[in-house]
Amino acid sequence: MSGAATSIRDADGLARAGLAPPERLDAIRRVAERYAVGLTADVAALIEHPDDPVGRQFVPDARELETRPEERADPIGDDRHSPVPGIVHRYADRVLLKPLHVCPVYCRFCFRREMVGPDGLGSLSGAELDAALGYIRDHPAVWEVVVTGGDPFLLSPRRVRSIAEALAAIPHVRVLRFHTRVPVVSPALVTPELVASLRSFGRAVFVALHANHPREFTPAAEAAIARLVDAGLPMVSQSVLLRGVNDDADTMEALMRRFTENRVKPYYLHQGDLAPGTSHLRMPLAEGRELLRRLRGRLSGLAQPTFVLDIPGGHGKVPVGPAYLAPDGEGWRVEDPNGSTHAYPPSADDPASG
């Protein structure tokens, strides 16, 4: 691991930081016995009170101990698509590589909350990593490797380089993608050495940044993002739609603008997964679709994310955003960003009934 990224790891640490009111401390302790707690100093400094939009993401809530019938420990079916430790192979042309299960912060809505944490599975052993790389080598259809976890930016630059160089030696792997929260939750870890290690792959390398609220874009975070982008590493965004965090059009608009202004292309807005104890943060699909509809007329196409749902059980990710086109006799009715509908004629080879 590179550096002690996490400064608060338990209920008592939250209390000392003024983030656990005395009347909630016992409940927070019970939650912490089941799910990992972790906040960096950078994140703690952003929290004005535990129920603000940043606090809701990271400060435990007693409702996390309430599991609804539809929730499941492995909500997107990683296990059923894991042929060897550290690999998830759900789509033919890409795999997830999970070299570690530790994060700098622990999100209260995490879909891998049953397996990540400082006392969890830790890092892959050398033999396990060799086996994971061997699996990728033996499957020539794999064109992209997504390095996730845990947060791969907690690996030392030396280990990131070794993984990148090992993947570069596999001819059919043409694209490498890293999923991380580090640039916004612990920006000092985005060092020149880490940036150089990412570039050592020598082919296309993308960084997917997870952030959920515009306040996460501090000057230090923006500088960390710039270090990556200025080095020629394209960045895309990942966000989760969360109740009380980004569930209104003004906040979501501001978030997507902050990504775009920092040269991070808005990519995915995720419907919250059915992880245990997360129902108080999860939004109804219909409300998410309506929120995206309101954004359509307010934001440049550069700033529009795709609203997606990971189908429970491991069946894949699909767009679930609002629809603007509907059959109308032999033609179509199309809705504009202001909610008005307009006729669109059929073409001879594309009737609406087809």
Concerning whether 63 is annotated as a catalytic residue, the answer is no
Closest CA to 158 of 189, 198, 123: 198
Whether the CB-CB separation of 103 and 154 falls below 8 Å is answered with yes
Is 265 annotated as catalytic?
A: no
Q: How far apart are CA 115 and CA 112, in angstroms?
A: 6
Catalytic-labelled residue, pool 63, 317, 324, 333: 317
- What is each CA distance from 277 to 22, 75, 169, 274, in whole angstroms? 22, 12, 42, 9
CA distance 174 to 201: 9
Active-site residue, 181 included: no
Sort strands 94-97 and 87-91 into parallel, antiparallel or unpaired.
Answer: antiparallel
Query: Token pair for residue 287?
Result: 């409300």
Catalytic residue among 10, 30, 91, 199: 91
From 56, 108, 112, 215, the catalytic residue = 112
- Residue 107 bears catalytic tag: yes
Would you call the peptide bond into 126 cis, given omega within 30 degrees of 0 as the criterion?
A: no
Told to judge if 267 belongs to the known catalytic residues of this protein, a careful annotator would answer: no
Q: Tell me 238's DSSP state.
A: E
Q: In what order do the strands lie in the sheet with 341-344?
A: 325-328, 331-335, 341-344
Q: How many CB atoms lie within 10 A of CB 273?
A: 21
Task: From the candidates 63, 94, 174, 333, give the one annotated as an active-site residue.
Answer: 94
Q: Is 328 a catalytic residue?
A: no
Residue in 72, 74, 98, 103 annotated catalytic: 103
Of 35, 72, 106, 107, the catalytic one is 107
Residues 6+ apart with CB under 8 A from 326: 332, 333, 334
Residue type, 41: A
Among residues 24, 42, 61, 110, the one annotated as catalytic is: 110
From 72, 90, 159, 257, the catalytic residue: 90
Which residue in 61, 74, 151, 310 is the catalytic one? Answer: 310
Which region holds residue 85: left if phi is over 0, alpha if psi is between -120 and 50, else beta? beta
Sign of CA dihedral 238, 221, 7, 254: negative
Would you name the residues annotated as active-site residues?
90-91, 94, 103, 107, 110, 112, 273, 310, 317
